[in-house]
Amino acid sequence: MHAKKRAHTERKGYKFALISYTFITFILSTLLGCVQSPQYSSNKPSFKQDIQLLSIHYKPVVLKSDKQAIIVLPELQGRIMSATLAGQNANAIGWFNREYLKQPHTQRNAVIGGVQRLIYGPETGQFSQFFQPNSGTTADDIYYQNAITFQNFNIAQQSAKHVKLTAPITLTNHAGYTFNFDLTRNITLLSQAETEKLLSIQLPESIEYVSYGSQDEIIHTGNSPWTKKTGLVSLWTLAAYQSNDNMTAIIPFKGELKSVTPYFNETKKSHTKIIKPFVFYRADGEYMNKIGIPVNNTRPYLAAYDSYNQRLTIEYFHISNKENRNYLTASWITPKDAYNGEIVNIFNDGPDDFGHYFGHFFELEASSAAFELAPGESQKHFHYSFHFSGEKNKLNQIAKQVLGLSLDDVSQP
């Protein structure tokens, strides 16, 4: 089945880029197959149904402890696809393109998603990892390299709550420089004690939770140093979740912040509100948009609160304090300094020019710093996700301790 749609590919900014504040559209031959999976609903699938679906064409690794579990797909670049905090029959947490994955993955720029995936920055500019050398740099020139879309990762170690994945990675940026590095991706399902230690809290009684995350490391295996003149590489982790009208994404910040950074189109008051020290974003999946905030304002957290389902999500990630750190630019708006990028982003899906949705989801994103590396040197990034469900007063205790936020003060634009 084919349809003419605005570009999305998997990276949201790609859906429609704004260069000098003008939208770029193109035709994407999709995507959505007609193969049906028995006893499977893509509206509110259970975790068990996700396992069944992903087992059609893949060998999912399920990390499990009591009622908490996650699904990892080594064949899809070690993505964490789905999670549960209440057993296999509970609704799955997270968004991925379930319809597309009913069939084999063959579309290079397919929209896939997952509750945590790892890709590589920068997204745009002269050193982009998403444009081939000598190509144009508009949305219809986007090209997902094999390491981002097709490469299988190897299972080096596996236990009930941990899997270690490895892969030799090759990337060639828009400037024509080729990066070679070994990737190690450690994915862990966290215990209550580990959750409490990482967040410096004590979980209230009767709270359901699932906590998981990755520690990623790349080791330069090439022959020449990586320098700012040839471009650098960042580790970029993205968490895709189902949108709804009651979902508010939250960026805690420090210092003074008068406005957010737009990435490819207008930032609307209907979706973004700043009430110091938080940015509140309406994650309704109804307006295709992406925002960020400057590095100096960034704290190591992102969050989302679903007031209808009483679920609190917290993302905790690494922020380097090294003096030689660089943050790579990912804006589609008039090009800026290639090394004046940001750490955190919120992306909201929405209808394209033809009224089509690519999934009705939003994403919470964190990018590592990038470094000039000599052969044999390495850089690291971690990103953990915590999902809590229960009575509002108990969720409030967690939000106050970790974010300094009362859920009564969450203000959806």
3-state secondary structure 19-69: ECCEECCCCCCCCCCCCCCCCCCCCCCEHHHHHHHHCCCCCCEEEEECCEE
Q: What pTM value is reported for the model?
A: 0.91
The stretch 207-222 carries a mean pLDDT of 98
**For a pLDDT cut of 70, what percent of the chain falls above it?**
89
The stretch 287-302 carries a mean pLDDT of 97
Look at residue 333 in the predicted model and tell me its pLDDT: 86
What confidence tens digit (pLDDT) does each residue in 141-200 have?
999 999 999 999 999 999 999 999 999 999 999 999 999 999 999 999 999 999 999 999
**Is residue 288 scored above 50 in pLDDT?**
yes
Choose between 337 and 409: higher pLDDT: 409
What confidence tens digit (pLDDT) does each residue in 52-92 have?
999 999 999 999 999 999 999 999 999 999 999 999 999 99
Look at residue 12 in the predicted model and tell me its pLDDT: 41
Residue-wise DSSP of 331-353: --SS---TTB--SEEEEE----T
What confidence tens digit (pLDDT) does each residue in 2-57 have?
323 333 444 444 343 433 333 333 323 333 333 333 333 446 899 999 999 999 99
**Is residue 240 scored above 60 in pLDDT?**
yes
Look at residue 335 in the predicted model and tell me its pLDDT: 62
> Average per-residue pLDDT in the chain?
90
Helices (H), 71-220: 146-149, 192-199
Look at residue 334 in the predicted model and tell me its pLDDT: 64
Residue-wise DSSP of 285-312: SSS-EEEE--GGGB-SEEEEEETTTTEE
Domains and CATH numbers, the chain: 12-409 (2.70.98.10)
Q: Which residues does residue 68 pair with via DSSP β-bridges, in sequence order? A: 65
Look at residue 14 in the predicted model and tell me its pLDDT: 39
Provide φ and ψ at 112, rounded to 5°.
Answer: -120, -50
Choose between 312 and 35: higher pLDDT: 312
Look at 19-28, 242-251, 371-380 and tell me which has the smallest mean pLDDT.
Answer: 19-28
